[in-house]
Structure 1
Amino acid sequence: MSAVTVDLNADLGEGFGVWRLGDDDAMLDIVTSANVACGFHAGDPAGLARVCLAAARRGVRIGAQVSYRDLAGFGRRYIDMTPEDLAADVMYQIGALQALATAAGSKVSYVKPHGALYNTIVTNLDQAAAVARAVHAVDPGLPVLGLAGSAFFATAEDLGLRTVPEAFADRSYQPDGQLVSRRKPGAVLDDAEEIAERVAAMVNDGRVSAIDGTTIPIAVESVCVHGDSPGAVRIAAAVRERLTADGITLEAFT
C-alpha cells in the first residue's frame, strides 16, 4: 500500500428548490469528502438533507461549506461584515448542517469556507479571525480546510484548530500561490487529462505551474474538484483514476 494518501473533496448540495446544479450522486461515488452547502450561498433544507443521507450511505465525510449570506451571487461577492456578524453567521450554518448530518446518521467532520469568503480570509485578518473563532466556539475539534499560508490558517492554528491545506484541481494559481480570480481568462480549467496530470504533480511533487508559467510549491492534504464546473464528474473521475494509478491512497483526512 502506498505511503502517500490524499483526500478528494467536492462542493455539493448547491441546488435550490427545483433548480439543480451538478450531479451530487455521481460525485459522491468518486470523492472522499463532501463540502455541503449550508443554505447561505446555495442549498435548501430538503436538498441538503438528501445530500447528507447520500454521503452517509457511502461513507463520505461531510463538511460544512460556510459562506457569506449571498444566494443571488452564489457566495462569490465580498460582503463587508463586522466580525461579530460573520462569526454568528458561520456558527449558524455549521449548526444547521450538523442537525441534517446527524439526522442522516453522520456528522459534520470539518469546515470549509466558500467562494468570496474563502478568498477574503486569505488576507483579511479580521474576517479570518472571525471564522476561526466561530469554528472553535462550535467545536474546537473540527478541522478547517483552506489555503496554506493564509491569514485564516494562522488564526485557526493560534486557536489550536487543525488546518488542512487543499489544492484546487481545476483552478489556476497566481505566482504568489493565491487563486486567479474567476473574472480573469484562464481561471478555470476544463481539460480532464491536463487537470489529472496537474493534480498528480501537486500530490507527488508538491508543485504546480502558475498562470505565468513559473513553478511554485504547494501544500496539499486534500484536492478540490468543483462540483459545479462543466464536466465535473468526468474531471473528478480522471483525477481519481490518475492518483490511483500512481499508487496514491484516496481517503478522507478526518
Structure 2
Amino acid sequence: MRIDLNADVGESFGRWPLGDDDALLAVVTSANVACGFHAGDPLTLTGTCRVAVGHGVTIGAQVGYRDLAGFGRRFLDASPAELTADVVYQLGALDGICRSVGGRVAYLKPHGALYNAIVHHEAQAAAVVAAVISYDATLPVLGLPGSAFLRRAEEAGLRAVREGFADRGYRADGTLVPRGEPGALITDPAAVAERVLQLVTDGSVTAVDGTRVSLQVESVCLHGDTAGAVDLARAVRARLEDDGVTVAPFAA
C-alpha cells in the first residue's frame, strides 16, 4: 500500500505567522503552497518553497479566491473568465518562485471555499480546469472524490487525484462538515492517525453520524493551521509506516 501525505503551507503573511511549516515539511511528502490570494506573501512563499525543495517535498499550487481578509474561506461569485485568469495568475506566480529556488509546481489543489464550491458548482469547476489546461495540461489536480471538479478534470484529460482529509469530519454523503459545525475538526493525534489508517487500508472513513463512507484516495491532507498540526502529521506518518504503508508523493 502507498499513500501521499499533503499539507497546506506558506500561509503566513508578513509579520503574522501561521503554522510551523519547517517542521511540517520534514514529515509530509507534498506541500500545497499558498499563492498569495488567500494567504502568503512573496517572501514567505519563497522561504516555504526553498524548505520544501530541501526536504524533497513535491510542491503544488494551492489556488484560491482573492480573499486575504477571509483566508479564502468565503465563496466569491466570480465569473468563469475571471476565475480562470485568477488561477493562471496564481499558478504562474508560484511556479516562478519555485523555479527560483530549484523546484517547480507539480500539481494544483484548490483552497478553502473554492475547493468546496467546485464539488458542485459546474461553471467554477470548469473554469479551474480550463486554467490548468491553458497553463500546463500535464499537471495533476487534487480534489474531493465525486466532485464536479475531478469529473471535469478527467473529461479534459487531466490526471484527477482523489484526496482524503485526516483532520476534518465527514458527512454521510462524503462531503466535509462545514467549519464551525460540531465535528468539523479532529485534533487528537491518536484518533487522526487511526482515521487515516482506516482510510488507507480499508478505503473508508466514519462520518459524524457513524455512517461508514467508502473513499478511495491517493493523498491525505493535513491542514497546517490546525492546532497541533505537526504532532498530527508525525502521528499519522508513524502509524502508517508501522503498518507497512509506503508514504510517498503522488506526483514526481
Residue by residue over 1:174-223, the C-alpha shift from the partner in whole angstroms, topping out at 9 and shown as x without a partner, is 10000000021110011110110010000000011011101010111001
Are 1:125 and 2:127 matched, yes or no?
no
> 4+ residue runs of structure 1 moved beyond 2 angstroms?
none
Are 1:193 and 2:178 matched, yes or no?
no
The equivalences for 1:160-199 within 5 A come to 160-199=157-196
Specify the code of the residue in structure 2 equivalent to 1:172: G
- Cα RMSD (Å) of the superposition? 0.5
- The equivalent residue for 1:17 is 14
Residues in 1 aligned to 2:23 and 2:226: alpha-carbon distance in whole angstroms: 14
Are 1:37 and 2:34 matched, yes or no?
yes
- The structural deviation recorded for 1:134 is 0.4
TM-score by length of 2: 0.99
- The equivalent residue for 1:110 is 107
TM-score by length of 1: 0.98
- Which one of 215, 221, 225 corresponds to residue 224 of structure 1? 221
The equivalences for 1:64-75 within 5 A come to 64-75=61-72
Residues in 2 aligned to 1:154 and 1:164: alpha-carbon distance in whole angstroms: 11
Residues in 1 aligned to 2:88 and 2:8: alpha-carbon distance in whole angstroms: 19
- The equivalent residue for 1:98 is 95
Where structure 1 has 5 or more consecutive residues not aligned to the other structure, the ranges are none
- Which one of 73, 77, 85 corresponds to residue 74 of structure 2? 77
- The equivalent residue for 1:53 is 50
- The structural deviation recorded for 1:64 is 0.1
Specify the code of the residue in structure 2 equivalent to 1:232: A
Specify the code of the residue in structure 2 equivalent to 1:164: V
Specify the code of the residue in structure 2 equivalent to 1:180: V
SS at match of 2:67: coil
**Number of aligned residue pairs:** 251
Residue by residue over 1:80-135, the C-alpha shift from the partner in whole angstroms, topping out at 9 and shown as x without a partner, is 01000000000000000000000010100000000000000000000000001101
SS at match of 2:86: helix
Specify the code of the residue in structure 2 equivalent to 1:20: P
Residues in 1 aligned to 2:59 and 2:193: alpha-carbon distance in whole angstroms: 24
Specify the code of the residue in structure 2 equivalent to 1:187: A
SS at match of 2:232: helix
Residues in 2 aligned to 1:116 and 1:170: alpha-carbon distance in whole angstroms: 17
- The equivalent residue for 1:87 is 84
- The equivalent residue for 2:139 is 142
